[in-house]
Amino acid sequence: MLKRLGNLIRGFFGVFVTGLEKQNPEALLEIEKENLRKQISEYNKGLAAHAGMCERLISQVQRQAKEEKELTSKAAAHLRAGNRKLAGEYALRLRNVKDEHQANIEQLEEAEKTYKELKSARDVSVKAAKAKIESLRRDIDETRIARATAELNEMAAGLINEIGGAGDTLNRLEEVVAEERENAKGRACVAKDSIDNAELIGMEAERSAMEELALAEFVAEAGIVTEESKASNFEETSPAPEDEKAT
């Protein structure tokens, strides 16, 4: 009995959660994107640890290569000097280092190959996941648009019937708007006719005269030579006619 009740409760919550997911697909998509970011972060941590191991192997291989050269030189020097025992010791160490060096080189090659494979697998998986998320996002947008279009079509279908029965109201509204528009035009005509154009022209002429006077004062104070001032000076300095001299 308890097992059946538990199954019933789980089924109820499953249906409830499924309904929420259908109503909020964007939220579910965001959760999956966050899960993908976490998985990539964890994967990158493991990849970084593997890369660290590769770097340690590289350092060890380089160190052993340097040690090989030193042991080779020492063994050869002692052999030429006649120290066969020391030369033998260095030769034995050189052989061990060479064996370890070769083993580390093979291990490094395998580690680098594994790193490239892991990195490639990560890139392929991430690319596929992003493509899937982008496809789902487009599907969600298209679904939302289709749903909105359907709702608008349903509203339009309902409005057709409502507008068809509201013809008298629209006609009365049209008459009211037309009457208000005509009244507004009439008020505008009356206001335009009541403006005294002669007074406006006089005020404009007075303002122009004041502007010319202010401009003349400014030119005189600033010492600016204009065409009008040149003509005025020329008239003042030009010689008088002969008949005026005779008088």
pLDDT at 141: 76
Encode pLDDT of 136-166 as tens digits: 778 777 777 777 777 777 766 665 565 555 5
CATH number at residue 83: 1.10.287
Question: Measuring CA to CA, which residue among 114, 126, 109, 144 is closest to residue 23?
Answer: 144
Picking from 139, 162, 185, the residue at the C-terminal end of a domain is 162
The token pair at 1 is 């009995």
Q: How many CA atoms lie within 13 A of 107 on its CB side?
A: 16
Picking from 144, 162, 180, the residue at the C-terminal end of a domain is 162
Please tell me whether residues 71 and 148 are part of one structural domain.
yes
Full residue range of the structural domain in which residue 221 is found: 196-235
Of 121 and 221, the structure prediction assigns the larger pLDDT to: 121
Picking from 109, 138, 162, the residue at the C-terminal end of a domain is 162
Decide if 93 is inside a domain: yes
Tell me if 115 sits within 8 A of 93, measured CB to CB.
Answer: no
Decide if 175 is inside a domain: no
Mean pLDDT confidence for 97-117? 91
Question: How far apart, in whole angstroms, are the C-alpha atoms of residue 46 and residue 168?
Answer: 76
Please tell me whether residues 133 and 204 are part of one structural domain.
no
Decide if 62 is inside a domain: yes
Decide if 170 is inside a domain: no
Q: Which of 99-103, 136-140, 233-237 has the lowest mean pLDDT?
A: 233-237
* Cβ partners under 8 Å of residue 65, min gap 6: 101
pLDDT at 13: 46
Q: Determine what percent of the chain is predicted with pLDDT higher than 70.
A: 66
Decide if 181 is inside a domain: no
How many residues does this entry show for the chain?
Answer: 247
Decide if 50 is inside a domain: yes
Question: Roughly how many angstroms between the first and final C-alpha of the chain, as a whole number?
Answer: 145
Asked whether the predicted pLDDT for residue 1 surpasses 70, the reply is no
* Number of domains composing the chain: 2
Indicate the residue type of 246.
Answer: A
Backbone dihedral angles phi then psi of residue 239, each to the nearest 5 degrees = -65, 150
Decide if 206 is inside a domain: yes
pTM score over 0.95: no
